Amino acid sequence: MAIDYSQLIPNNVDLSSDRRLQRALENWQPRFLDWWKDMGPDGTSAHEVYLRTAISTDSNGWANFGYVKMPEYRWGIFLADRDPDRVIAYGDNKGKPVWQDVPGELRSTLRRLIVTQGDTEPASVEQQRLLGKTAPSLYDLRNLFQINVEEGRHLWAMVYLLHAYFGRDGREEAEEMLVRHSGDPDKPRILGAFNEATPDWLSFFMFTYFTDRDGKYQLASLAESGFDPLARSCRFMLTEEAHHMFVGETGITRILQRTCELMKEHKTDDVRSLGAIDLSTMQKYLNFHFSVSLDLFGQEASTNAANYYTMGVKGRFLETRIDDDHLLTNAAYEIDTAEDGRIVKRTVPALQALNERLRQDYIEDCAKGVLRWNKAIERAGFNFEMKLPHRAFNRRIGAFAGMRISPDGKVLSEADWTAHEGKWLPTDEDRAYVTSLMGPAITQPGKFAHWIAPPARGINNQPGDFEYVRFN
Ligand code: BYC
């Protein structure tokens, strides 16, 4: 269905046919805009940004480029097209038609998942609020803003579901989305990674590589939901997520390229003296963002995850492409877990291991980008390998929470950990150094900060000196 842009809230859900719902969402809209003004990208209301806006949800329509003032971005409600033959692919309800409404017994479970998902979206916008002040180029500034408006739209996607299917409770949850704030000591965001700061562009690229990728895996699992409106919302959100991860992967590649260039030119590893980011600092940031993102998958053995699956609420990554019985009642899965202070392998019922299985899919996906980063370092003629740390490293959720574990997976005493922590995770000094590189935003078209290489190509094939953002 085409998106109707003539409405106050653009949508492809025929919103005007349900006046109550339309009014409720039109009431929420000004509160969203106030939140965007207060908590969204700082001082940007007059900028005109070369943004991609969806005009329909098919492959031709979702990437339409043009200049937009961000507060005038048409945030709306876009669901992927309905497949009338879709059936639940797994669990006790396998083979039954998907639900177009919320089954009563699944109401609180679904609400909770939708709220958890929705909460991350505005959280990330809040985390990135100040980054525009230090953008390394107009190209990067534009990408930041593109991500910000799309995360705003992803919040709309979840708020629509809450309003349309969860009555008064849903409306209350939608209000709370704008009341919790990232890092707020009294009203924090729900999941840990979304309360960490994103104070600099190295953190931003790591976040979009690692944390947005958790988004990909969680959204893909929810795209398998038997609750069809949720599945269709997530399917469309996934099309946008790919660009966010691209920004992360290429951002890191460009920093690595610049660092290697300077190492080569000056025949030294000490690129800090040359105003660039050294490889070991990049590894520490990687360790931090990877481990914090691993926590987002929940417990290694989880009865919640088993229940979501059995009930047909949340599936596995690409569920329909997996060749098994999609019931998993007799299947087993080996997980890493902790016992008596040691890391051990245990075989558990596969249903309980679904969070861990998704985490494993995610880790394998993360490793692909690391391989490409290492190729870039190797091509530049250096012998340094970026590595993903062990899954138990620096965890706060799950079996390894509270344990001290090195990046190569050795259990350490507190003293050993303290002695080495500064080699593995960014220290205050590292953070201060990276922050010191973040100068005032570079706003001249085609110019880049000293510590990052230009991208291989422009957005929508625009030339290198394209004016991605116009300041008014
Ligand atoms: N932090 O049985 P478990 C994105 C709690 S990112 C705090 O494992 P379950 C994006 C848990 O709530 C994707 N608490 O739980 C990226 C439970 O509490 P109760 C976001 C945590 O239910 C970048 C208890 O521990 N989407 O889109 O399997 C930019 C037991 O654990 C955490 C989703 O997360 C944690 N990390 O939870 C913008 C999808 N982990 O019941 C956006 C929706 C667990 O004991 N959420 N707990 O009080 C879910 O699917 C699930 O809630 C979880 C795992 C994956 C979070």
* Residue whose CB lies within 8 A of the most ligand 1 atoms, among 296, 307, 309, for a mutation test: 296
Diameter of the chain measured on Cα atoms: 68
State the distance from the centre of ligand 1 to the C-alpha of 191, rounded, in angstroms. 6
Q: Which two tokens stand for residue 458?
A: 């422009």
- Please identify every stretch of the chain with a pLDDT value under 70, giving residue numbers as ranges: 1, 59-62
Q: Which two tokens stand for residue 136?
A: 């390394």
Closest CA to ligand 1's atom 41: 304
Using one digit for the tens of pLDDT, what is the confidence trace for 152-203? 999 999 999 999 999 999 999 999 999 999 999 999 999 999 999 999 999 9
Length of the chain: 472
List beta partners, residue 347. 334
- The DSSP line for 177-217 is HTTS-TT-SSS--SSGGGGS---SHHHHHHIIIIIHHHHHH
List beta partners, residue 66. 51
Do residues 300 and 335 touch, judged by C-beta distance below 8 A?
Answer: yes
- DSSP letter, residue 2: B
10 Å CB burial of residue 186 (0-12, 13-18, 19+) is exposed
Closest CA to ligand 1's atom 25: 298
Q: Which two tokens stand for residue 424?
A: 């593995």
With CA atoms as reference, report the closest residue to 123 among 219, 234, 40, 11.
40
Question: What is the identity of the amino acid at 394?
Answer: N
Please list, in sequence order, all residues whose beta carbon lies within 8 angstroms of the beta carbon of residue 422, skipping any fewer than 6 positions away.
Answer: none
Q: Within a 13 Å sphere around the CA of 18, how many CA atoms are in the beta-carbon half?
A: 15
- DSSP letter, residue 342: E
Question: What is the identity of the amino acid at 408?
Answer: D
What is the pLDDT, as a whole number, of residue 353? 98
Please list, in sequence order, all residues whose beta carbon lies within 8 angstroms of the beta carbon of residue 128, skipping any fewer than 6 positions away.
Answer: 41, 144, 147, 148, 198, 204
Closest CA to ligand 1's atom 16: 212
Give the ligand 1 atom nearest the CA of 295. Answer: 36
List beta partners, residue 336. 345
* Residue whose CB lies within 8 A of the most ligand 1 atoms, among 355, 358, 396, 400, for a mutation test: 355
| Strands of the sheet with 469-470, listed across from one edge | 64-69, 48-53, 469-470
Give the ligand 1 atom nearest the CA of 191. Answer: 1
- DSSP letter, residue 156: H
What is the pLDDT, as a whole number, of residue 354? 98
State the distance from the centre of ligand 1 to the C-alpha of 208, rounded, in angstroms. 18
Q: Ligand 1: list residues with CB < 6 Å.
A: 113, 116-117, 120-121, 124, 151, 191-192, 211-212, 214-215, 218, 295-299, 302, 304-305, 314, 355, 397
Rounded-to-integer distance, Cα 113 and Cα 304, Å: 11
List beta partners, residue 411. 405
State the distance from the centre of ligand 1 to the C-alpha of 454, rounded, in angstroms. 36
